[in-house]
Structure 1
């Protein structure tokens, strides 16, 4: 019996690793950038409950799985296990179904089984992932947390004979353009462990009070790892303002954060700006609205020229421009044949995936999940059809070449198209700056004035609101 159990555990471990590799590949293909802050805070051993915000459906769990170096048991919404594309990977990952009250009905044992399985995993030193908001939603806010994470932590500690045996770890995810292929990016911030022993001891005879106290502390901790805004558009404007701020930091003689600290500094900066914005909106709403309009106008001017804010600081000297143009044209020319083949051979699955996802009519937070799931099915199917056509029309040699090149050509096509896009944007900027000699200076002046307005507004905010020593230092 023990041998059978050992074989089963090994097979489960292999299945988990295979799914994790596939998940890592899908995320690498879909996301332009994934930043992780605080990975060192994940304990190397012992029971861990990871409690994260939930904005992007199944993709949220995928991101945690590839971020955490240990095997993660996901507590997932029960209907997902019946999904024809999502369900099988969840089973292979050893995920545990969670039933909402409407689904559990009058049978409390259904979720009691979930708690028992999760506690057993924690007792064995495993890692549990839970989304305490209870549902996914697209807006960058933290919904009121349910008490499941706190109950799980208390239940595991009781089962293990004392407080402090399980680590409760808050995780925040901040997304940019989460549903768009090769435009999406995310910052994952892992906070410090949440202390629960003091709350457990203080409410030893009143476990419900302990649950509420731990949930309140967890709410504060997750909130400290994210940037809350009224909608994704506001986050996009905040990103424009952030880039302008840092690009004006050097001329002001202020040091930029070191490369390894940039993501953490950016998160803290955005949080302070949002706190200041909420403070000022209640007192000077007209100035906050005016600043928002200025950011929109500045962003519109950049979009019209076709450049990003950081490109304004580049020296547009004739020699550098010619070198840039020559280097990129050579690279694009050399990659053109294989990139064209990659684009042609992947056009049908790319188009079909997009059409099917549109017809599914799902909510925006499910868009990335749907694209990955549908693409995972239709890309191989259409590759097989294309391979069959190549074999029928050109023979075995051509089929072998098709098989060898199908994946590399697709990857090169992605890189080639992105580089072409950057080159076109820069070429457009060169054109604008050559035909309108004062444009570069006007955009720089506009950026400087925008940052100056932010500094003036920051001076009107008490330091305790900003969480900074100087009211003018919104960093």
Structure 2
């Protein structure tokens, strides 16, 4: 399993680093370097969630996965390579309790050997940025393993929160993994001797609270997008440590608690504020500007020099980028058309893109390699094979830069043509900050100190 796990881990990291623009992991010091461990994470991005955890968490982990996935022609082999354990759910029908008992026994044996287990206690993936009620499987696995050794194992239960920005968008998405402190289990172990169900429910509730501390819950993805934008506006001029991922998460958690409070007690005011934020962000996007760039002054000379440098670098890199585009245009187009026909759910979009690419790209490359052989025999085929991967990465970087330069050029042009645009947008930005500050002063202490689910 060690070789298979290493291959899957390397492949997962490589694929996700290509797909997402940025991936961060914080709090890794909370993860024990050795000893029995259960990692429990929220589940909002289908198969990308386990890929992130297997690829970035330094300890090897045995995932617990729903049984039907083992029959999937693409996913099944990878699950077996990492030693995943199947679990049967009631909604899949014909559940044999003995099969799940075998899984629980295998988990106990793995933990007794000092291994680590990965589980998603919500039981299923869903697209909205909120934590669903947890099932008790993770708690029962820990309690059963400890009971078998009279509590001598010392299994650590570590929550990891997964937070995404545009999770299904290639090269625009970002992912954040926050590792929390181990969940206390001592009192639950003592209770398990006499009240196993009560102990499992208590530990499950405690795990739910711990997971909520690691994520930002919102009513929907649009609310979460606005919340992220507002956090960026509020802290644009702050010191670097104020921009740490943990600080951003804590700020947004508090802001969501305040938002829910005002939506109940001052709905008109908070609705007006939200609409103003939406209009401001929309106008920035149409102008090709960012909130951060709005505060930076530009002269006509600055714009000309930037345009010349950008155009020169893009033109010099164009031949390599064109080769990469020619090599990858067919599989890219076929993957996009396939996704358009399938129309996956938002939480499955990235998964379908990755799986589709894993099938379509190699098939297209084989066809293109055959054409290269027919047209130029060995030399052209060798050139195609050697340049295939590096020009692919080069084209991604070139495309990212082209989009950024195009957006900047549009923004520069608007600022030069509409001399008053910066002042008007700046005034609206300041008005948003003033209203945000006024609302913050009205937040009751009970709301500020509310539990992690955001409800006072």
Asked if these proteins are the same fold (TM beyond 0.5), I'd say yes
Out of 387, 400, 405, the position equivalent to 2:387 is 405
| Equivalent residue runs for 1:338-349 within 5 Å | 338-349=320-331
CA drift of 1:327 comes to 2.2
Task: Indicate yes or no: 2:29 matched with 1:33.
Answer: no
Task: Indicate yes or no: 2:425 matched with 1:425.
Answer: no
CA drift of 1:104 comes to 5.8
Give 1:440's aligned residue: 422
CA drift of 1:161 comes to 2.7
Query: How far apart are the structure 1 equivalents of 2:45 and 2:258?
Result: 27
Give 1:71's aligned residue: 60
Q: SS state of the match for residue 44, structure 1?
A: coil
Task: Indicate yes or no: 2:180 matched with 1:191.
Answer: yes
CA drift of 1:177 comes to 1.2
Q: SS state of the match for residue 282, structure 1?
A: helix
Give 1:138's aligned residue: 127
Give yes or no for contact 1:338–1:413 (8 Å, CA) kept in 2. Answer: yes
CA spacing shift, 1:106–1:182, aligned 2, 3 Å: closer
Task: Indicate yes or no: 2:299 matched with 1:317.
Answer: yes
Moved more, 39-48 or 94-103: 94-103
Moved more, 162-171 or 15-24: 162-171
Query: How far apart are the structure 2 equivalents of 1:153 and 1:203?
Result: 11
CA spacing shift, 1:161–1:342, aligned 2, 3 Å: same
Moved more, 17-26 or 392-401: 392-401
Deviations 1:174-198 (A, max 9, x none): 1111111111111111111000102
Query: How far apart are the structure 1 equivalents of 2:354 and 2:192?
Result: 45
Q: How many residues align?
A: 450
Task: Indicate yes or no: 2:198 matched with 1:209.
Answer: yes
Give 1:7's aligned residue: none
Give 1:3's aligned residue: none
Give yes or no for contact 2:300–2:416 (8 Å, CA) kept in 1. Answer: no
| Unaligned runs of at least 5 residues, structure 1 | 1-11, 469-475
Out of 276, 289, 294, the position equivalent to 2:276 is 294
Query: How far apart are the structure 1 equivalents of 2:23 and 2:248?
Result: 14
Give yes or no for contact 1:257–1:265 (8 Å, CA) kept in 2. Answer: no
Give yes or no for contact 1:150–1:211 (8 Å, CA) kept in 2. Answer: yes
Give 2:453's aligned residue: none
CA drift of 1:106 comes to 5.3
CA drift of 1:318 comes to 3.4
Moved more, 335-344 or 163-172: 163-172
- Alignment RMSD, CA only? 1.6
Give yes or no for contact 2:20–2:171 (8 Å, CA) kept in 1. Answer: yes
The TM-score, its normalising length taken from structure 1, stands at: 0.92
The TM-score, its normalising length taken from structure 2, stands at: 0.95
Give yes or no for contact 1:122–1:166 (8 Å, CA) kept in 2. Answer: yes
Give 1:281's aligned residue: 263
Out of 209, 216, 230, the position equivalent to 1:220 is 209
CA drift of 1:164 comes to 6.5
Query: How far apart are the structure 2 equivalents of 1:278 and 1:396?
Result: 65
Give yes or no for contact 1:273–1:466 (8 Å, CA) kept in 2. Answer: no
Query: How far apart are the structure 2 equivalents of 1:357 and 1:233?
Result: 22
Deviations 1:394-419 (A, max 9, x none): 23211111111111111111000110
Give 1:262's aligned residue: 244
Give 1:359's aligned residue: 341
Query: How far apart are the structure 2 equivalents of 1:307 and 1:38?
Result: 33
CA spacing shift, 1:79–1:410, aligned 2, 3 Å: same
Give yes or no for contact 1:104–1:110 (8 Å, CA) kept in 2. Answer: no
CA drift of 1:449 comes to 1.0
CA drift of 1:163 comes to 6.1
Give yes or no for contact 1:163–1:197 (8 Å, CA) kept in 2. Answer: no
Query: How far apart are the structure 1 equivalents of 2:222 and 2:42?
Result: 19
Give yes or no for contact 1:168–1:193 (8 Å, CA) kept in 2. Answer: yes
Give 1:388's aligned residue: 370
Give yes or no for contact 2:112–2:153 (8 Å, CA) kept in 1. Answer: no
